[in-house]
Amino acid sequence: MFTSNDGLCGIGELAEGAGVTVKTVRFYSDRGLLPEASRSAGGHRRYGPEALDRLRMIRSLRALGLGVPEVRRILDERHADGTAAGGARAGGALEAAVAGRLREVGSELRALRWREAALRLVQESAPGEQADRLRLIGAVSVPPSTAPLVRFWRGWLPARMSARSAGAFLDVAVPQPPDDPAPAQVLAFARLNALALAPCPGAARPQPEAHRSAGARGAAVLYAGLAEAYELAGAHLRRGREPHPGDALDGFVTAYTDAYGVRDTPGFRRRLAGQLAADPRLDGYWELVAEVNTAPGGRPEPTPGTAHDWLLAALTAQTAVGPDQGTSPRQSKRRASPGLGA
């Protein structure tokens, strides 16, 4: 190459040296990625010695899936640095383009894994189930989005609840689709999606009594306290322990007393147990969340729903037996503890 007297080469020589077609060289030249040094008397394109390294760089970047605009920014940055194409250091444009492409590839891989699991779900389904399951998974975007679930919960949570408190709850209430799901997880997420998009009977979703009683400020206090109590209960659930009094239950009750601005008494615990038992329930939602969050063959992961049920069972059992009348459960426990002034 570059054997002519002027040190330039034609488009065919350049294409051969880089291992690409003449059409490819012409494409990049027309888009300004590969500047011509000059034109021959007959109007043919002529390229300088630096064109070969530049063309190889273009080919490498394009092989990574980078678009023409990204390639242009990288080449312009390298040219501005005043370094040769073959030995230039990686700049900000290259780093940004590679990071962006990695995100795109990750999303593409998640979409492919989701589609693979969805196809297996249909393949493994009985003929009578296939139509319904196709309808369910067809309503889920690919990659799957949690936006319908977020909208569902924003309609359920107390009005004017702070963004911080709502965000903290949504982090645990809205399951993220697994990166490499099993068919059963695809089905569970699709059913969650359908549940969230289904029209509500009546004018609005029924709200728990606590939402109406606590008010906007109390709701933030309530959900912050419940999050701590659910975490404590989750530890017991993972160990397979039956519902029982203790710090988790005390924290659960305290979340309500702090939100309502009342004292923790046996009477309040009895009323709370009755109120919570009568509140609308979302058992089906939490069962599906557990399926989405649990790896195939694994033990179901605790959810806010299962933690709430565990705590309510502990509260119901405690109030049914009843501690010393006229004292709160915590006061009764303290009097029975040595060293605290029996």
Residue 60 token pair: 């490498």
pLDDT (0 to 100) of residue 287: 93
pLDDT score recorded for residue 44: 85
Q: What pTM did the predictor assign?
A: 0.72
- Which of 205-208's residues contact partners 24+ apart within 8 Å by CB, and which partners? 205/155, 205/156, 205/280, 206/280, 207/156, 207/158, 207/280, 208/276, 208/279, 208/280
**How confident is the model at residue 89, as a pLDDT?**
53
**What pLDDT does residue 216 have?**
67
Tell me the average confidence (pLDDT) per consecutive run of 10 residues in the chain, 342 residues long: 70 91 93 86 84 92 93 88 52 90 92 95 95 95 93 84 85 92 96 88 62 74 91 95 96 94 95 90 90 89 94 95 47 31 23
Going by C-alpha positions, the residue among 306, 325, 303 that lies closest to residue 314 is 306
**Residue 56 has what pLDDT?**
93
- pLDDT value, residue 267: 95
| pLDDT, position 148 | 95
Q: How confident is the model at residue 25, as a pLDDT?
A: 94
